[in-house]
Structure 1
């Protein structure tokens, strides 16, 4: 008996060419973040060219930096920090925000009020200012950066998830489940979450973009990933001296940030949300 696996077309998914290209770019950077340090043509910290801010060439496809290090190797190695830290932070922020938002919507009352006011207080602090103060006070390290980024974006994820969950919680099938005496955990897991999953996943993608940009901003200010490691924001900062020369060492990390964030936005805008009618 032949086994037929479902394809995107059978499931009614239609991903247009723009979304497909965006997905390929995201997949490329995801793969580079995992295997980048093992496929770099040169060690990221090794000086391989005596011509600083070297141009694009066959030997150095992204040029060289202010010390003569290969930029392709440094961009590939930096992908692990830019993508990895941002992904960890957005997973923590969105998981906490979604769980708290659904819980507040289902339980309501004083629980809802306390959680909402607490997270409103956090969200009232400008994100960059909060990150600068905390990182400057505690010191910059990867766990601190992940924690700061997660705290900054948890309130927004909470508000979005709560707004969706409040609407779903008023539906008849949730009322029937309450009347049956179902526990709060059941209501959240079986009735609320499946009906808000699509929008919250799209929101998670947008928050990933915000986290990448905030991390790059902190690194550009010298409070992000510290030497000898470097993410894309750090690469831009340390090569700013070559901006007046139009050096690839400044442009290439910026292009990496732009391609990742724009691709995530394009993929979210072109997500397949319509299911084909059964009669087709």
Structure 2
């Protein structure tokens, strides 16, 4: 029974990391940008949830507003901050993303609130379901279901739609895609929109577990998602998913072995395990040969 509970926790936490790592990997594979402002997209989605609930909107509409708001914010980030820097070096793009992240944090802290805001979750999310003698909380179960739907939906989009195929092609040869008549800015904007949508979904799952929103909400999960993307192979779609679940497994799986004295060092021990893993597989578990691989 304990094994099942640990498995549920791994899938729940790892799913959040996988969604965020996917968002980072999609943008990196096409633009070559590691967007460290990705965490602020989560925070934007979180505050949109708080605002929507204050207006008394039904839960499905609240979640839709959060996801679409994060997607639109990601597109605006690209249009305002990253598109003018398109021909800049990777270092310049990275510094720009740090700048965008800092500006957003300052705005949240001074323009919204420096303190966390509680999110009133629906009553049904505090319940549990019983399967064969063991209980599973509705929050992790919902997290697993949403993660699975998001991953399946993204896979279908990349494989079955014209724009999705164009994104996969752009990740391999961006210049050739432009020569074939596809608008480069459209492909890039779509990659940012998808990354924002995934960040919005991850924000919903993260908030459902912690029950509050604050200006620094997205920092820790996106930092770990970046580590997950490296574990899987930066730029690899399947690698990002695998890396997310591997990192979730390391965090959850290490809990039974930690004592009271070593528990505060869990993250450090997990990072040590990641370093050892990368010493064996420096390119990641599923490295991308050229750009995004699905």
> TM-score, normalising length from structure 1?
0.30
- Greater RCO, CA 8 A, separation 6+: 2
Task: Give 1 or 2: higher helix fraction.
Answer: 2
Task: Give 1 or 2: higher strand fraction.
Answer: 2
> TM-score, normalising length from structure 2?
0.29
